[in-house]
Structure 1
């Protein structure tokens, strides 16, 4: 079973390289393959989380790191290209004017295309990205799968905006993929920005605000001020889970579409698990079968080679018995020599005189079924041609043809000519010669 561990730093550590980093503390939640929360923790160090997983013998755990949403900004890149290679090449030029710092110092992560508006792009300072990537890499028995701005994992369903109260912080996201992270007290200041989609046809913008009962009670005045803008249709929901669990479940159920920051120089390569891992047993069996089959084929080849050599020796021994004076014939050409000799014998023909041909005709006639229906009218023999011509009559042509076939089977040549079909039967001339 596969597991996903969602980890978020408890507070934003400084990224100043000259500063001494405090030991980071994390909030975390572990989901199984079905998306159910099976473990959680708050304010724990990396070693404590790794120890908890090890004690429960959990394997195949994928790590998803959530960084503060204000560490990265969302840009939109208008690019005509469709192939990813060309899009990535043109990406820096497409978003350069939307950033307040040198494009060379910014890491860009490409998201999905949003209709005709362009491609969503997450931009984060290279120095900060390097810090977060290092912070979440190299965990024992864990493989980093993705890094996301935390607010980008808020669930967006029917509403246009989603707000989650997380202590003193508010996480904000909308259907276009934009995200914000700000102090809860500043929410009324962005009410106009939340209502940018309000038109004459749409009187108010739908906003869902969620939080624990304590957070909703603590920030009630701010919520009232936000609703008082008149342009927002605010719906409050009480969370029965922590904010981190809400983000993790929303991501597992695909209720959001975040941009993974692990791209380019920060791409994640899972060296611990090959994509062929599930197929390894089948591959091992196939390789074993191949080796066995190869051994069998090799053995059969050797055996058949030995048999062929024995047959060649036997053939040559028989040939030498018949042609002891032939010294030029060997196993490589014996077949060609014998075939040539047989062709020579065939072309010379078989000499047969009148009595011999008449003997064969008489033998086959006596064996012919229904011979009483066959009568001989006359016999003619040509010594010059070596042919015996028999004038026959039978009750059917099949009888004549059966006699001809029987003579052919003895090695003679026999043909029927001048066949005449009559009401009483058939008559014809049977010409027989030596084969």
Structure 2
């Protein structure tokens, strides 16, 4: 399960490069840990960095995404009216579009681009040195990976057509439905009543809705200021009491997309490691697959060499046998020996024994003479057909085995020999022996 840790530093803010242990350890944070469904699994108030890291270690949590919340007054809200649509041109024109809205040298300001609205792009501007300090404060935490930095007031839930206010001790965070955020002293809320009462556009609006968040003690403490807001006549104030600290409201709104904050980690401060974070979980499997692939390639190459050596040995053996049979043939090698042998066999078959009467009688007589006790084999009649090239012999023997031996002998000489019309008698067997050329 994926987790996201929202961390909000408490004033006074320690210098991130402090060398004194007292200063470095003095920085405290409020924090809340949300799971993938947005439920808070752990929280803490006024804890040191080491305490938060220890809590994660005790719960065996690794690579938790961290969202850092800066005081809203650290970043200025601007609007950039840029007609360009390509991102490259938008970033090129961005400094010139907001330069008049910023009261310092534009070169010393880090600009973060938000979403486009009807009035232009929403932009957050922060001093470069301060941005570097905040990035240093939220970097190099154990078990945590910095995901984003936001102005805290930018994470308030948006009130459609009006303002959202969160009472946070001596401070009040404000957010308009246009995305403009403010952080002011809570005692000065009444001074902003007229500003809040102005409609967000040129339309005539009778009332401007205002949603005020805070714990019960905050409402009691700011009762007088809230009464002035309600008495302005143009504001419809709705109070929503929180059971826990305001940080949980901000985390809830961010997780459920109830706001559109501007991530300050852009440009030179972009979190580069996020681009490859999607592959982090697959790295072990990729490593194993790579090793397996290399081993498989090695095995395939080794088997290829082995089979090639075996093929070379068989070719050498085949050539040795061929040269024993044809010692005068110097043109045949391993590449064409098969074709040469097949040609020689076809030539030998074409040049086989003649199939005339004399030849057939010759071979038949030779095989007759080789039969043991040939006197027991009698040729009753001999017929020869020139048209068919076939010799037909009516033969009788004292056993069928001698007829079969005669036929097999002729076949071994390359002739076609068959025995048909076999009749078994009491004193032997007789049949018709047909001999023709092979």
Question: Given the two structures, how large is their TM-score scaled by the length of structure 2?
Answer: 0.72
Of 188, 191, 200, the match for 1:189: 191
- In structure 2, runs of 5+ residues without a counterpart are 358-383, 393-438
Change over 3 Å in CA distance of 1:239–1:270 after alignment to 2? same
Change over 3 Å in CA distance of 1:229–1:361 after alignment to 2? farther
Cα contact 2:16–2:137 (8 A) shared by 1: no
Cα contact 2:74–2:151 (8 A) shared by 1: yes
Change over 3 Å in CA distance of 1:338–1:26 after alignment to 2? same
Structure 2 residue 387 is the aligned partner of structure 1 residue 358: yes
Tell me how far apart the structure 1 counterparts of residues 181 and 212 of structure 2 sit (CA, whole Å). 14
In the TM superposition, structure 1's runs of 4+ consecutive aligned residues that sit over 6 Å from their partners are 14-20, 339-348, 350-357, 360-363
| Residue matched to 1:149 | 151
Task: After TM superposition, give the deviation of residue 340 of structure 1 in Å.
Answer: 7.3
Task: After TM superposition, give the deviation of residue 67 of structure 1 in Å.
Answer: 0.8
Change over 3 Å in CA distance of 1:268–1:327 after alignment to 2? same
Cα contact 1:28–1:244 (8 A) shared by 2: yes
Cα contact 1:159–1:208 (8 A) shared by 2: no
Tell me how far apart the structure 2 counterparts of residues 146 and 91 of structure 1 sit (CA, whole Å). 21
1:64-143 mapped onto 2 (5 Å cutoff): 64-114=67-117, 116-143=118-145
Tell me how far apart the structure 2 counterparts of residues 346 and 98 of structure 1 sit (CA, whole Å). 105
Q: Deviations over 1:138-184 (max 9, x none)?
A: 22332222111000010125453211111121111122211111012
Change over 3 Å in CA distance of 1:201–1:80 after alignment to 2? closer
- In structure 1, runs of 5+ residues without a counterpart are 364-435
| Residue matched to 1:243 | 246
Cα contact 2:14–2:27 (8 A) shared by 1: no
Secondary structure, counterpart of 2:38 in structure 1: coil
Task: After TM superposition, give the deviation of residue 328 of structure 1 in Å.
Answer: 3.1
Question: Given the two structures, how large is their TM-score scaled by the length of structure 1?
Answer: 0.73
| Residue matched to 1:5 | 5
Change over 3 Å in CA distance of 1:356–1:129 after alignment to 2? farther
Tell me how far apart the structure 2 counterparts of residues 198 and 58 of structure 1 sit (CA, whole Å). 47
Tell me how far apart the structure 2 counterparts of residues 109 and 357 of structure 1 sit (CA, whole Å). 109
Task: After TM superposition, give the deviation of residue 274 of structure 1 in Å.
Answer: 4.6
RMSD value over aligned CA atoms? 3.7
Task: After TM superposition, give the deviation of residue 245 of structure 1 in Å.
Answer: 1.0
| Residue matched to 1:160 | 162
Of 210, 213, 220, the match for 1:210: 213
Secondary structure, counterpart of 2:278 in structure 1: coil
Change over 3 Å in CA distance of 1:174–1:250 after alignment to 2? same
* Larger radius of gyration between Structure 1 and Structure 2: 2
| Residue matched to 2:42 | 39
Task: After TM superposition, give the deviation of residue 27 of structure 1 in Å.
Answer: 1.7
